[in-house]
Amino acid sequence: METIYKPLIVSIVGNVVLGIVKIIVGILHSSLALISDGIHSLSDVVTSVIGYLGVKIASKPADQSHPFGHSRFESLFAFFMGVLLFLVAYEIGRDALGRIIERYTIEVNALMIGITIVSIISKEMMTQYSLRIGKKLGNQIVIADAYHHRSDALSSVVVLVGLFLQKFGISYGDSLAGIIVAFFIAKVAFDIVVKNINHLTGVSPPEDIYKRIEEKVMSVKGVKGMHDLRAHYVGPRLHVEVHIEVLPELTLKEAHDISEEVKKRIEEVEEVETAFIHIDIKGVTE
């Protein structure tokens, strides 16, 4: 199994198991909180399946209809996953307000608390695993899926706080915590959506990336200058264009070899997918 798919498979299997267990315990003990949390876990299965399909499509090689590859699909799918996180935040907030209005209370027992603690630990482990793989591979879908795990862990924390507070006679504590967590999830969703909108619309990278690219270019022997450095995101990776200046006495092959070395070094920058090099003769062409 390829490394990039492992966290998504773990996500699907883990969410199915946790979701079913929480729903069963919730039904047995009339816990609306656990039933809702279980449904939330099962809803994550849908986003993980979407993520899996997104990675499959994004990893397809270039073809006639997509000559620069399919990497934009990675950001597109991550964008939709961010939108789904917004919906999760809305659902948690709505449920929390509903519980305040209805003054809903339940009888709390050790099994309910234990299942919720297991859910929190399991989801945080899945979060850390997916984040590690996603950041290592620079894959926005896996990273977005990791934050979806985090949202589920936070919702389970809300349930746990609510169970403890209700056990000690404070009936509104879980609902207030739910509203707070809903805002946290909405902030994560906002960051994912904005980041991937920027990637899809071809935003320029930060200044520090430009500086790293410039250092790579000027480190190549034979490059006497550079200008018109441009870069923009094509999905999660950068396409870079730059003009380099070489001495007029160089042969065509020597100039070509220099340009190939520049291209190679630029593409060593982690964020860069491909580089396009234009050769100018110093003092003659611009």
CATH number at residue 175: 1.20.1510.10
Choose among 177, 187, 18: nearest CA to 99. Answer: 177
At residue 52, the pLDDT reads: 67
- Given a cut of 60, is residue 16 above it in pLDDT? yes
| Range among 24-38, 66-80, 173-187, 261-275 with highest mean pLDDT value | 261-275
User: What secondary structure letter does DSSP report for 107?
Assistant: -
107 and 25 within one domain:
yes
Average pLDDT, the chain: 81
Q: Where are the beta strands (DSSP E) in the chain?
A: 225-234, 237-246, 272-281
196 and 276 within one domain:
no
**Which positions ≥6 away from 286 have C-beta within 8 Å?**
227, 243, 280
Choose among 133, 175, 129, 131: nearest CA to 155. Answer: 175
| Range among 3-17, 74-88, 225-239 with highest mean pLDDT value | 225-239
Choose among 17, 2, 14, 102: nearest CA to 58. Answer: 2
At residue 262, the pLDDT reads: 95
User: What secondary structure letter does DSSP report for 4?
Assistant: G
Choose among 17, 39, 42, 15: nearest CA to 26. Answer: 39
Strand partners, 274: 239
266 and 183 within one domain:
no
Residue 1 is inside which H or E element, if any? none
In this prediction the pTM is 0.63
Residue 49 is inside which H or E element, if any? helix 32-58
Distance from C-alpha of 120 to C-alpha of 149, rounded to nearest angstrom? 10
Q: Is 2 helix (H, G, I), strand (E, B) or coil?
A: coil
Query: What would the two tokens of residue 220 be?
Result: 């190549």
148 and 84 within one domain:
yes
Domain that holds residue 136: 3-200
More confident residue, 129 or 286: 129
| Range among 15-19, 160-164, 175-179, 188-192 with highest mean pLDDT value | 15-19
Report the pLDDT averaged over residues 35-42: 74
- pLDDT band per the 50, 70, 90 thresholds, residue 50: low
- pLDDT band per the 50, 70, 90 thresholds, residue 280: very high
Distance from C-alpha of 92 to C-alpha of 37, rounded to nearest angstrom? 9
The per-residue pLDDT for range 155-176, each reduced to its tens digit, is 788 778 877 877 777 777 667 7
* Structural domain total, the chain: 2
Do 160 and 117 meet the contact criterion of CB atoms below 8 Å apart? yes
254 and 163 within one domain:
no
Strand partners, 201: none
250 and 211 within one domain:
yes
Task: List the CATH number of the domain containing 220.
Answer: 3.30.70.1350
- pLDDT band per the 50, 70, 90 thresholds, residue 1: very low
- pLDDT band per the 50, 70, 90 thresholds, residue 88: confident
195 and 211 within one domain:
no
Q: Among the three residues 200, 227, 259, which one is the final residue of a domain in this structure?
A: 200
